[in-house]
Amino acid sequence: MRQAGLRRAKRSDLLGLPVEVAPRLLGGIVHTVVEGAGVSVRLTEVEAYHGQGTGDIVDPGSHARMGRTARNATMWGEPGHLYVYLSHGIHSCVNVVCGPEGVAGGVLLRAGEIVEGKDAAAQRRWGALAPGRSTARPDRDLARGPGRLGEAIGLRYPLDNGIDAVTGDPWHGAEARLWLRDEPLTDIATGPRVGVAGAAGTDAFPWRFWIPGDPTVSPFRWGRGAGPIVLN
């Protein structure tokens, strides 16, 4: 795969704080080959997550906020690997690990546009079109949301957790490669993270980054039971 204006990510590209790395991933591409099917997604929405000891303040919305555990171990490892976790018992969500080894951090891939392998992605997402469903789902929904993106590119918890997206080395029969823009985007929107409880999901942590106006960006919804925090 060769894309104009893009280059393969180097591990050093991902050494910084997640909140600094996240916007540089926008417009980049994650390419996977899983069970023989290649799919590429152009990233349009991401979120930064730190950890205990990462940056000036602890990120209360991070899986790594309490320190290293078996679950979040990948977040503490070498940058450029993918931290894949199970959300709500159903969805495999994907992060690009960043920060130096020994420091927790990652960027959640929240949404993107499938630019290669749409048929394979649609098969994974929806299978054969269900009888009685007359209209095909729009391409924009293939990877519009972190659970949908993970399913579209075929990465699964726990099998693919830890796969290296810098080298692209095979990992349990799958491969993943990360491409970055030669020139990072400059027109980027930021705001509070989606589905994150408490102060971590407010403007106190404007760590969601997206490409303004892109139709594949997920719709913003306040977390369940939460609402906008109105300051006096």
Question: Applying CB under 7 A, which residues contact DNA?
Answer: 47, 49, 61-64, 66, 69-72, 75, 83, 85-91, 93, 95, 106, 108, 125, 141, 145-149, 158, 193-197, 218, 223-224
Q: Which is nearer to DNA, 2 or 133 (CB)?
A: 133
Contact 83, 106 (CB under 8 A): yes
**Least distance from DNA to the Cβ atom of residue 149, Å:** 7
8 Å CB contact between 122 and 104: no
Residue whose CB is less far from DNA, 57 or 70: 70
Torsion angle of the four alpha carbons 193, 38, 165, 90, in this order, in degrees rounded to the nearest 10 = 40
Residue 40 has phi, psi (to 5 degrees) of: -125, 135
Comparing CA positions, the residue from 80, 79, 50, 47 lying closest to residue 62 is 50
Task: Please report how close the Cβ of residue 99 comes to DNA at its closest, in angstroms.
Answer: 12
Query: At which residue do the structure tokens 């600094």 appear?
Result: 20
Do residues 168 and 177 lie in contact, with contact meaning Cβ atoms separated by under 8 Å? yes
Report the distance separating Cα 51 and Cα 34, nearest Å.
30
Residue 111 bridge partners (DSSP): 45, 144
H-helix or E-strand containing 16? none
Q: What minimum distance in Å lies between the beta carbon of 141 and DNA?
A: 7
- The least CB distance from residue 44 to DNA, in Å, is 13
CB of 95 to DNA, least distance (A): 5
Single-letter residue type at 224? R
Question: In the bound complex, what is the minimum distance in angstroms from residue 51's beta carbon to DNA?
Answer: 8
3-state SS class at 122: helix
In the complex with DNA, the residue whose CB is nearer, 91 or 118, is: 91
Q: Give 1 or 87: the residue with its C-beta nearer to DNA.
A: 87
Nearer to DNA, 90 or 230 (CB): 90
> In DSSP terms, which residues pair with 8 in a beta bridge?
179
Residue number with CB closer to DNA (2 or 224): 224
